Amino acid sequence: MASSPKRVPIPKNGVDYRGKVVLAPMVRSGELPSRLLALKYGADLVWGPETIDKSMIGTTKRLNPHTSTIDYTRTPSNLSKEPSSTSRESVIFRLHPTRENGRLIFQIGTSQPALAVEAAKLVAPHVAGIDVNAGCPKPFSTSGGMGAALLQTPDHLASILSALVEEVGKVYEIGISVKVRLLETAEKTKALVQKLCATGIIGLTVHCRTTPMRPRERAIRDQLSMIADVCRNAGVACMMNGDVRDRNEAVQLIQEYGVDGAMIATAAESNPSAFRTPEDGGLLPWREVVEEYMRTALGVDNKWGNTKFTLNNLMPGKAEVSRKMTGCKRYIDACKLLELEELHSRAQEVDERLGISANNKDHDIRGKRKKNPSAQAVGGNMVIEKSHGIGRKSSLSERGVIAMPVVTV
């Protein structure tokens, strides 16, 4: 009788990546409302956006009574030693403990085992896994020795994964995984994957591009079957990423290359109903998706700047409403433009809680983000916005957001 394939055990609070089609980690495009919408449309799991370890360390965990979310917040210091008394608390990471329960993977940007462990412990009780970003090619990540820079130091990357497996995965009984890119040759890629699979991780995702390649360049899949074999021999689930258009194509590629699962990134950024099966009707019209996104974003008090960014991705560029959206400075403006009258009351409430007035300059964060690598890394959540007098955003505590005690294990 043939023996069963080797498999690294899935921890009690973890999740098996096998047979899954999931939302890829995307900075700005992977915030909470985008994840919830992907789940609604059929994503099996969702990855959060890369969150830098140092941005999480020192945060306060809060239960938000308005949204039923868990928020990790901090007061920006504006590079000073002591934060200003008028500084507004920023949400570094937000999750929904019920709607994302058992289906959320927290992706961490890190370059040091100790920092990775310290940051991961903060969120470990509320997620199904911790994934290390070892594939981001952007300077804000690689300049700090994170992301794709880790591919050049495989022993160091392996030490980060081993520390997370021992000090987080085993303690909180969740899975640890890693996302990488292809190396210069198949031989180097194979050696890297073999080393990483020996650390105790439960999953490995390969983005089918090399570090210098950009999204517009076609994904390279000729190493996929080899990588899948290496992972299978080690008992580690193998996920693929790169140019996957929808669930139907994901299933076909899984079968063709022998991988265990697939991530959808850019296609889901444009239309998260890409996770729907053909039997469910496949892609939905963009307007229907936009309306559902607005309801979801309002339901979790999503930052307006991120909501506007996402709406621009969801709407066709040539649509008149897309051009008019650039002039919207508040949720209520967008609801009026989209003729969502039933959401007007909620939009006004959220605008008030977020401290958005009609005179705001739409948070004017684009230029600041370009100059602030840390803000880029957390999707703009660390951008500091000054408030003056009327229209100042109240602190989270003033809005009834309750700090939660830190739970240690």
- Give CA–CA dist 264/245, Å, rounded: 7
- Give CA–CA dist 87/341, Å, rounded: 34
Please check whether residue 49 is in contact with residue 55, taking contact to mean a CB–CB distance below 8 angstroms: no
- Give CA–CA dist 110/116, Å, rounded: 6
Cα four-point dihedral sign 318, 324, 325, 331: negative
Question: In a 3-state reduction of DSSP, which class is residue 314?
Answer: helix
Burial of 394 (0-12, 13-18, 19+ CB in 10 A): middle
Nearest Cα neighbor of 201 from 288, 275, 105, 294 is 105
- Give CA–CA dist 297/179, Å, rounded: 28
Strand (E) positions, 82-125?
90-95, 104-109
Structural tokens at position 106: 């927290």
Task: Indicate if 136 belongs to the active site.
Answer: yes
- Give CA–CA dist 406/380, Å, rounded: 25
Rounded alpha-carbon distances, angstroms, from residue 13 to 125, 126, 187, 259, 261? 9, 9, 35, 23, 20
Please check whether residue 181 is in contact with residue 209, taking contact to mean a CB–CB distance below 8 angstroms: yes
Please check whether residue 41 is in contact with residue 246, taking contact to mean a CB–CB distance below 8 angstroms: no
What are the backbone dihedrals phi and psi of residue 383, each rounded to the nearest 5 degrees, phi first? -65, 135
- Give CA–CA dist 156/309, Å, rounded: 36
- Give CA–CA dist 84/77, Å, rounded: 7
Which of 136, 208, 231, 335 is catalytic? The answer is 136
Nearest Cα neighbor of 52 from 118, 128, 1 is 118
Question: In a 3-state reduction of DSSP, which class is residue 28?
Answer: coil
Per-residue b or e along 192-226, where b marks 16 or more CB atoms closer than 10 Å to that residue's CB? bbeebbebbbbbbbbbbbbbebeeeeebbbebbeb
**Residue located via tokens 């100042």:** 392
Catalytic residues: 136
